[in-house]
Amino acid sequence: MTKSVTKLLHGRIMTNALKRKPTTRAGVMVTGGGYQGKTETICEIAATFEDSWLELHQHLNPDAVAGARDLHIPVAYVQTPVTAKPKSTCKAILNFYGAPLNPRMDLPDLIHQVATSLHDHGTKALILDDITRLRLHRADDQDTLDLIRAFMSMHVTLILVGVDIPGSGLLREGRHDPRTQQVVFPPSRHAKAHALESTQTERRFDLVELDRFRYDTPAQMTAWINHLTGIEGQLRLLKASPGMLTDGHMPEYLLERTNGVVGLLERLAEDGCQEAIDSGTECLTEALLDGIAIAVDNAPGRDPSAGEIPDVPGGSAKKPAGCSEHKRPRNTVFDDHGPAAATGT
């Protein structure tokens, strides 16, 4: 599921980081459902780039001014405020750097401070998570989106992460370019209003989706079994046996309980292990998991109105529709991806 995301995102960040021309860096939008591992996947990809970039420059900022403090932060991660405004968005970015904030600073000053922080810390990628918290029927949110697009003129790769971006309304001002397969936006109003660097090209984003696990083809079944195998290898239950999560009807049962969403599967496995330890069962079974309710309604830091809380399937153990059409081959050999499979990557 993450191959296309990894290939596009890592390549885009690295290519943009190596550019020296004063041109606008193309951005990436990553969409998907709630609890599907978007943030974890993006942060892992960004961390891999950051490690490579720091090693390439001996952990020093190549653009640091001589004699100045060299605090090198190649990647910045910020959550979009629930009720985002241009000022609050700028403050959220500055808080990531621990930059001092003067309460008297107006919006142009905050934007200038953001640009200064990005440059002084050698930041090459700016991740804005939960971008679909923006509601374009509100004037403040429209201004915030314009401001975010203007950040692309600050020589960073802008990565926007959100739930169902195509259905959120964020792309209503953009158009799909069939030649480049990119989402193209008109120039931001803020680029001229606040003296940000202008660009001769429209701001561009690639839109890529991180999907949930599915069970409709042999390849999809193999991917699901590989993932369960990786999780199984991480569990330390005293009576756990090989194939605890991958033999018999258990793969189909887990798919029905979680709808192939990695976050829900993780919650079910964690709560199931706790129950198995408390009860002395020390093994995950369908009977034990039937008594575990997946409760994510009150998850802290998530906005249900933005689709960040997914629908949780019912707890019935009956076989999901469509599974009978494709039988899992008895002698299929599945690769054990170990820890990587357990994170969905």
pLDDT digits (tens, 9 = 90+) for 247-267: 989 999 999 999 888 888 998
Of the chain, the percentage scoring pLDDT greater than 70 comes to 76
| Burial (CB count within 10 angstroms: exposed 0-12, middle 13-18, buried 19+), residue 122 | buried
SS3 184: strand
Enter the tokens of residue 48: 């891999």
pTM above 0.85, yes or no: no
Please compute the mean of the pLDDT values over residues 152-181 and round it to a whole number.
80
Is the pLDDT assigned to residue 94 strictly greater than 80? yes
**Of the given ranges (35-44, 60-69, 213-222), which has the lowest mean pLDDT?**
60-69
Task: Give the pLDDT mean for 72-90.
Answer: 91
Q: In this model, does residue 325 exceed pLDDT 50?
A: no
More confident site: 136 or 240:
240
Pairing of strands 204-209, 175-177: unpaired
CB 125 within 8 A of CB 75: yes
Residue 212: the pLDDT is 87
Q: Indicate whether 327 pLDDT > 50.
A: no
- The CA distance from 159 to 183, in Å, is 13
How far apart CA 171 and CA 121 sit, in angstroms, is 31
CB atoms < 10 A from the CB of 69, how many?
A: 8
Residue 91 has pLDDT above 90, yes or no: yes
Question: What is the pLDDT confidence band of residue 279, given thresholds at 50, 70 and 90?
Answer: very high
Average predicted confidence (pLDDT) for the chain = 80
pLDDT tens, residue by residue, 113-124? 999 999 989 999
pLDDT at residue 174 in the model? 65
Give the per-residue pLDDT at 345.
37
- Reported as a pLDDT band with limits 50, 70 and 90, residue 128 is very high
Q: Which residue has the higher pLDDT, 77 or 68?
A: 77
pLDDT at 106 over 50: yes
What's the pLDDT band for 62 if we cut at 50, 70, 90?
Answer: confident
Side-chain-side CA neighbours of 70 within 13 Å: the count stands at: 12
Whether pLDDT at 336 is above 70: no
State residue 245's pLDDT score: 94
- Residue 321 confidence (pLDDT): 37
The upper half-sphere exposure of residue 42, i.e. CA atoms within 13 Å in the direction of its Cβ, equals 29
Task: List, in order, residues 6 or more apart from 315 with CB less than 8 Å away.
Answer: 257, 290, 292, 293
Q: What was the pLDDT predicted at 254? A: 93
Higher pLDDT, 178 or 299: 178
